[in-house]
Amino acid sequence: MAEYFPDGFLWGASTASYQIEGAAREDGRGPSIWDIFSHTPGKVLNGDTGDVACDHYHRWREDVGLLKELSVGAYRFSTAWPRILPNGRGAVNEKGLEFYDRLVDALLEAKIEPWLCLYHWDLPQALEEKGGWPNRDLARWFADYAGIMVRRFGDRVRHWATFNEPNNVAYRGYGEGDHAPGHRDRAKVMRAIHTINLAHGHAVKLLREERPGLVIGDIFNFGPRAPLTDREQDIGACALSDAIMNLAFPDAQVLGSYPEPIRDEMAPLIEDGDWHIIKQKLDYFAFNHYSRSRVRWDKDHLFHFARVPPPPGTPVTEMGWIIDPAAFRQVMIDCWKRYGDLPMYILENGAAFRDQVIDGKVHDAERVKFLRDYLGAVIDAAAAGVPVKGYFVWSLLDNFEWALGYDKRFGIVYVDYPTQKRIPKDSYYFFRELARGAPLDR
């Protein structure tokens, strides 16, 4: 059956600075927490780092060409704070700004709308040395950085996002510790959550003051979860994990409160006037979605919850993430009900599979099927009334997948790292047809 997407549906592709740029020590860029973390033995699989990544810093022209050929209406990228402010604050690095000038201008010239995300995890190391996100001062310093960016790019970039997956910044960076800066401290997670919410609020306020008419949001992350059993402990663990991983940011920013399971723990961190800052009007509701999971109580865990691997035989991606498009449809419906009628954008969805280059081609049938099924869920959600306005695939390119280094490939374009050759996969051509207006066949 051939089905069409809503009129004006926006097709896009997403990337992130540290995952693709490389040029880690070039043109005055300062170190980020990910440089330090990835260079610490044992932190990233195979000792991989983002030093070179996809060398996008030098190959941006070719990458914009790939986007143009893909026929997408938008490209979501992030700007590296340590390229702009090598010490996190203070002296601005003009060369860093110039790199994004070139990129933004090339995108506009190719008729691709730039969607600029201010923070995709590469905090300047200098600010980690001042305590990182658990330090409330970072909220103001983030807004200062946002101010520099909007004064430079606000004339050309209309779509802005403050953070990518603030939940993972707080939880994985300061709780699980498998992401930079690698702490394992429950109190730090809670403090980071609040600082990031404040940072978002200050930044949105400032962007609007500097330039009315911008379209501003935050990029949340939703992975629905269910308790492993109906035992009270599992139910409680699941609710806490839902509060931290799914609700702590959108609830705060849209509803102006923390979800019940963390409310008491957050209370001492909230100062007078904080809600007024945090709860800024958003122009869109955006989130990333990959999978769903099951949760059980775990007495040894920092938060007493643990993710349970899927039962044998469950369809999973190369990440071990459950493939379940119906869960995606449900997330869109649930978000719409909980957060209201804002235009909804899916700013990341995609999958890693073991890709192989055969005769210069990559026939990634599993990824094509994944995208087809997940895009079917988008059509279903739209039919149920969800105002879903666009879908951005993760990712344009294979790239540095954080703690898993270059081992996992999420791109619709294959990157041969030794030569930096880009090879569009079958999924790229599949996506291109849709972006050009073809209906979804399912």
Comparison of 348 and 380: residue with beta carbon closer to ligand FCB: 348
Phi and psi at residue 164, in whole multiples of 5°?
-105, 125
Name the nearest CA neighbour of 240 among 267, 221, 266, 259: 259
Name the nearest CA neighbour of 236 among 263, 262, 261: 261
| 3-class secondary-structure state, position 134 | coil
Comparison of 392 and 402: residue with beta carbon closer to ligand FCB: 402
Q: Is 348 a catalytic residue?
A: yes
Rounded Cα–Cα distance for residues 279 and 21 (Å)? 33
385, with CB counted inside 10 A (0-12, 13-18, 19+), is: exposed
- Name which position in 9, 10, 12, 16 contacts ligand FCB (CB under 6 A): 16
Please report, as residue ranges, which positions from 159 to 188 form the binding site for ligand FCB (by CB under 6 A): 164-165, 168
Rounded Cα–Cα distance for residues 397 and 286 (Å)? 21
Comparison of 45 and 235: residue with beta carbon closer to ligand FCB: 45
Give the x-and-dash track for 211-250 against ligand FCB (CB under 6 A).
----------------------------------------
Q: Which two structure tokens, joined as six digits, stand for 304?
A: 């007493």
Smallest gap from Cβ 404 to ligand FCB, in A, equals 9
Smallest gap from Cβ 82 to ligand FCB, in A, equals 17
Name the nearest CA neighbour of 285 among 336, 320, 329: 336
- Name which position in 119, 174, 410, 430 contacts ligand FCB (CB under 6 A): 410
Give the x-and-dash track for 331-370 against ligand FCB (CB under 6 A).
-----------------x----------------------
Q: Is 165 a catalytic residue?
A: yes
Rounded Cα–Cα distance for residues 56 and 259 (Å)? 39
Comparison of 5 and 121: residue with beta carbon closer to ligand FCB: 121
Smallest gap from Cβ 165 to ligand FCB, in A, equals 5
Rounded Cα–Cα distance for residues 391 and 379 (Å)? 11
Stretches 55-63, 98-106, 394-402, 428-436: which one binds ligand FCB (CB under 6 A)?
394-402
Cα dihedral 396, 401, 405, 406, rounded to 10, equals -20
Comparison of 234 and 348: residue with beta carbon closer to ligand FCB: 348
